[in-house]
Amino acid sequence: MVTTATDVTAAGPQPPLLRTENLSVCIDSHGERNTVVSDVNLELTAGRTIGIVGESGSGKSMTAAAIMGILPPVATAQGRVFYQGTDLLTLDDKARRAISGPELAYIFQEPMSALHPMLSIGAQMIRPMRIHLGLSKREARERSAELLDQVGIPKSRGLLGAYVHQLSGGMRQRVMIAMAISCQPALLLADEPTTALDAAVQKQILELLLDLRDQLGLGLVLISHDLGLISRYADDVLVMLDGDVMEQGPTADVVANPTHPYTRGLIESAPRIGHVPRRLPTIDRAKFSTRALADKEAR
């Protein structure tokens, strides 16, 4: 089912920061086991960005959750997830938390629901740094203000006492990013980090993520339903549908010369500014989705 635009080679002499081998996710429901993500193989080195793109329900967020170890109780990850050579799926909960807390960070899709409504921004930022970095409360508060400055929030010290409902969408997203980088992670996963933001703020957030990647030497996994966005900000890309990888490779090659018809359909169905209005083509998912075909046969 997978087609590769070009042979993917490691970027420079660096070993991979993150590598998955046949990563799959199964969900147990009503006595049945259903595979919702199948055989995802990706590789990411420090200082680079890999994009995971696909429509809603394609398995993007479930793949990221499996990497982070935050799957719901009914879900199980299979295969291998190597972080700096260590297979995360073989670790017990305590060992996993020791790595996932300070070294792997996650930016959730909706900060309004991810941030605690009853705790101030400062309280939520300070606690992880005290746990993982061993900072005093005063040191953690000072670093919190510095981080908010770093992500472009003015008058950051005054914001530490604010609550999530008092912030705009762009500010909430910047707070999430500041919290994610607070413990100096090596790997950052951003799940639809610009959802519900206007185009100008979206551009600011994405450029901020790339700036932080370059400044801190992060490996960045960027998840989006927007192939156009991924084409601008990711070095490599995985195109997913119903839990399967349709195509993967260097982003420029995949976008310029897509080898899978589903990828071509995504590109052709995007409206283009400045072009004569036309009827956008639709994608017949049943031609490409193994699950859609299976459901059709079952009926």
Distance between CA 165 and CA 110 in Å, rounded? 13
pLDDT in tens, 148-166: 988 888 778 888 999 999 9
Q: Which of 91-95, 151-155, 226-230 has the lowest mean pLDDT?
A: 151-155
Average pLDDT over residues 88-104: 88
User: Which residues have a Cβ under 8 Å from the Cβ of 160 and sit 6 or more positions away?
Assistant: 120, 121, 122, 125, 141, 144, 145, 148
> Higher pLDDT residue, 140 or 295?
140
Which pLDDT value is given to residue 6?
41
Which pLDDT value is given to residue 295?
55
Quote the pTM value. 0.86
Does the pLDDT value for residue 8 go beyond 90? no
pLDDT band at residue 87 under the 50/70/90 scheme? very high
Does the pLDDT value for residue 11 go beyond 60? no
Backbone angles phi, psi at 14, to 5 degrees: -65, 140
Helix H, strand E, coil C: the string for the chain is CCEECCCCCCCCCCCCCEEEEEEEEEEEECCEEEEEEEEEEEEECCCCEEEEECCCCCCHHHHHHHHHCCCCCCEEEEEEEEECCEEHHHCCHHHHHHHHHHHEEEECCCHHHHCCCCCCHHHHHHHHHHHHCCCCHHHHHHHHHHHHHHCCCCCHHHHCCCCHHHCCHHHHHHHHHHHHHCCCCCEEEEECCCCCCCHHHHHHHHHHHHHHHHHHCCEEEEEECCHHHHHHHCCEEEEEECCEEEEEEEHHHHHHCCCCHHHHHHHHCCCCCCCCCCCCCCCCHHHCCHHHHHHHHHC
Distance between CA 33 and CA 280 in Å, rounded? 37
Which pLDDT value is given to residue 185?
92
Distance between CA 44 and CA 134 in Å, rounded? 29
Which pLDDT value is given to residue 39?
96
pLDDT band at residue 294 under the 50/70/90 scheme? low
- Angle at CA 283, nearest 5°, toward 262 and 294? 80
Contact (CB, 8 A) for 261 and 288: yes
pLDDT in tens, 105-133: 999 888 888 899 999 999 999 999 999 89
Backbone angles phi, psi at 116, to 5 degrees: -75, 125
Which pLDDT value is given to residue 204?
87
Q: Which of 138-142, 226-230, 243-247 has the lowest mean pLDDT?
A: 226-230
User: Which residues have a Cβ under 8 Å from the Cβ of 67 and sit 6 or more positions away?
Assistant: 18, 20, 23, 81, 88, 104, 189, 221
The one-letter amino acid code at 235 reads: D
Q: Domains in the chain, start-ordered, CATH in brackets?
A: 3-298 (3.40.50.300)
Q: Which residues pair with 249 in a beta bridge?
A: 237
Please state the length of the chain: 299
Does the pLDDT value for residue 91 go beyond 80? yes
Which pLDDT value is given to residue 5?
41
pLDDT in tens, 185-225: 999 999 998 877 778 888 888 998 999 999 989 999 999 99
Assigned token pair, 98: 């020791």
